[in-house]
Amino acid sequence: MIGVFAFVLAAQAQPISAQIAANPYGPAAQAATGGDALIRDAVFGAPGAAAILARWLGEHPDASPDQRGTGYGVLCNIYGAYTWHSVSATACAAAPKKEGQDDAGVARALAAMPPVRAEGTARIPLHWNALGVQDIPASVGDVDLPWLVDTGAGISVLSQSSADRLKPHYVEGQFSVGTSTDPVIGRVAMIDLLRIGTATVENVPVLVLPDAQLAIGGGKVLPAILGLQVLNAFRRVAWVDHAKYLVLGESARRAQGSANRLYWHDEGVGVPIGTGRGLEGAFLDTGANSSLMRPSGLTLLSPAERTSAVQKKVGLGGAGGMVTRTEAEYPSLSFSIAGAPVRLSKVSMDMRDNQGAALLGMDMVSQFDLFLLDFETMRITVHRAAPGAMPRR
């Protein structure tokens, strides 16, 4: 426990810009001024904020290393999510390099490619697969595959065997990309047209990995992963009826003006998680079947919850393979997600990462009859129907 608290204190001692990026809902972020305020606006996806931040960074070469590093890191994340490859390559090159991850190289290789473009809307049944995560059917040409729906994947992914069937257009080079387990080396390619139900998506970048790196849980290979870039291109995405269906595009309701704010997390998209002890940002990873706490989230827990942890061996799977670690496990934790109550069981502590209070997976999302991400307004709406009430769509 001493090591955990030491980690939290170290995180609280971060420079102000890094604190804003890690928790834009916190007191430091609320009081931000100057360049820090611009970083906060960009993290929250305020209209035009990324362009304003980029201009400010260009005009202030004497800004602190923390401000410049955090600012360019935020721009790298935002431009990457929108697949603005050319400006993404510039921002990522100026940002601190993430261990085992070549964001700048991927963006540079795709610099001449057009951004992802989604057309139409779709409502598709979600399928819980043998790995305990959800996929949807999608096709390229006459080849249908199940695609894991993963807000935690910065770029969509194909296994090599799937790529051999779909025949995407490869770009030059091999690149290191971070995963939930270990970094992996893959090739980058482009899919011209992907069909998802009644909708289409053009210009989809994909990372192609050897099958062995996507073999999770008894050797079963994940054929394809639908990443954040595609979901963001639809502007709105919703999991409805306790994650029985995925709704993409205009068929998903607009978030209300009073809805809680989304933000651009270092790993993808972030949501607000809170208790009576405060409000923190958390990483939303719909490619994970279980949620994980992170050290900075300890401040949200009650004394009884903190002392309830027991040591357990935890298996974690990702594109980097399977790993087993001994972690603290909490029997149950209660939070609010975007203001709505949620209770999680058997939640492990991920000591490797302190970017946000938690990693929130499908065990959280599936508790709601509506879980809506509105990327157009950067708002989140969640709703749990009262017992006996008709689900809201």
- Looking at residue 8, its pLDDT comes to 32
Q: Judge contact between 331 and 348, C-beta under 8 A.
A: no
Nearest to 373 by CA among 252, 265, 278: 252
Residue 282 Cα to chain centre, angstroms: 9
Q: Judge contact between 307 and 370, C-beta under 8 A.
A: no
Strands 292-293 and 340-349: parallel
Beta bridge partners of 340: 337
Tokens 């972030």, located at residue = 270
- The token duo for 107 is 């963006």
Side-chain half-sphere of 86: how many Cα atoms within 13 Å? 4
- The token duo for 226 is 């639908």
Amino acid found at 140: V
CA distance 157 to 126: 18
CA distance 47 to 70: 19
CA distance 116 to 203: 5
- The token duo for 135 is 């996929």
CA distance 336 to 216: 31
pTM confidence score: 0.90
Q: Please tell me whether residue 48 adopts helix, strand or coil conformation.
A: coil
CA distance 114 to 201: 12
| Domains present along the chain, CATH in parentheses | 12-101 (no CATH), 117-251 (2.40.70.10), 260-383 (2.40.70.10)
- Looking at residue 316, its pLDDT comes to 55
Q: What is the dihedral of CA 243, 178, 181, 349, to 10 degrees?
A: -70
Q: Where are the beta strands (DSSP E) in 257-363?
A: 260-261, 263-265, 268-275, 278-284, 292-293, 310-318, 321-337, 340-349, 358-360
Q: Judge contact between 379 and 237, C-beta under 8 A.
A: no
* pLDDT by position in tens, the chain (length 393): 222 322 233 334 578 899 999 899 999 898 899 999 999 999 999 999 999 999 999 999 999 999 999 999 999 999 999 999 999 999 999 999 877 678 888 999 999 999 999 999 999 999 998 777 899 999 999 999 999 999 999 999 999 999 999 999 999 877 766 555 566 788 999 999 999 999 999 999 999 999 988 887 667 889 999 999 999 999 999 999 999 999 999 999 999 877 799 999 999 999 999 999 999 999 999 999 999 999 999 999 999 999 999 987 655 555 555 556 667 899 999 999 999 999 999 999 988 777 899 999 999 999 999 999 999 999 999 998 654 443 333
- Looking at residue 352, its pLDDT comes to 78
Q: Roughly how many angstroms between the first and final C-alpha of the chain, as a whole number?
A: 44
Q: Which residues contact 292 (CB under 8 A, 6 or more apart)?
A: 347, 348, 349, 350, 358, 359, 361
- Looking at residue 119, its pLDDT comes to 98
Tokens 């004497």, located at residue = 62
Amino acid found at 229: Q
- Looking at residue 386, its pLDDT comes to 56
Tokens 């949200």, located at residue = 300
Beta bridge partners of 149: 226
